[in-house]
Each structure stands twice: as structure tokens, then as C-alpha cells.
Amino acid sequence: MYSEKVMEHFEHPRNVGEIPDASGTGTVGNAKCGDIMKMDIKVENDVITDVKFKTFGCCAAIATSSMATEMVKGKSIDEALQLTNKAVAEALDGLPPVKMHCSLLAEQAIHAAVEDYQKKHPKE
């Protein structure tokens, strides 16, 4: 049902945890399935230098959170805003159709963290 990459990110998730002095935090959830994702980002010179997540959810929710953090770490704010759920799913070698909402939550959590950062640090 799941690709090897999904299982790898589920069994050995990257960037789990919280950033105490996060530059931005985004929390999103899906009431239907009960998945909740929280993403913290640390930004320096408009680049995401660190990103951590905490996810309460299924295998796909944890795997997509893990992959999304890997995809935005080291990227600029503008690049992070380009992240799509399709790109996250493709990086995991696909998701079952009933689990695509998990990749959408990962996209939304990253975007919410970036938007929180932008609110706290408006551009001149």
C-alpha cells in the first residue's frame, strides 16, 4: 500500500520536535481524519535554517511531515512557499489516493509557519 520511502520516513522521521525560539509556527488539522501537524521554522537571512514538526496522525501524515521538512530546509522563504502537496507526494514515490490529504496538510503546515514568520517580520 505504501512506498518504501513512505515507510522509511514513517519509521525514521526526520526533524521531529520543536524549536523553542521558532521564527514561525504553523498548526493545521483535518477534522475528518483527526490528523494534526505543527511545524516550526527558524529563519536567518530569509533562509529556513531549521525546521521541526510534531504530528499526531497516521503513517502517511508522519511521512509527509518528515518529507516536507526535508524539502524546505535550507530553502528561501519564497522557495518554501512554492512547496506543493503534489511535490511532497512525488518525493515519497506516491501516496494512496485516500491519503493525499496528508500531503496537503504538510503543504499547509509549512505555508502556515512561513505566513506566521512573515507576520512577525514584515518586509520593509
The pTM of this model reads 0.93
C-alpha triplet 65, 55, 115: angle, nearest 5°: 65
- Residue matched to cell numbers 521564527: 23
> Which among 3, 16, 27, 33 is annotated as catalytic?
33
Query: pLDDT category, 124, cuts 50, 70, 90?
Result: low
59 an active-site residue? no
What is the rounded CA–CA span in Å between residue 56 and residue 12? 15
Q: What is the pLDDT of residue 45?
A: 94
> Which among 102, 105, 106, 113 is annotated as catalytic?
102
SS3 7: helix
Q: Nine-digit cell at 26?
A: 504553523
Please give the tally of structural domains in the chain: 1
Mean per-residue pLDDT of the chain = 94
Q: Any idea what the CATH number is for the domain that residue 58 is in?
A: 3.90.1010.10
Instruction: Determine how many CB atoms are found less than 10 A away from the CB of residue 120.
Output: 12
> Can you give the residue range of the structural domain that contains 70?
4-120
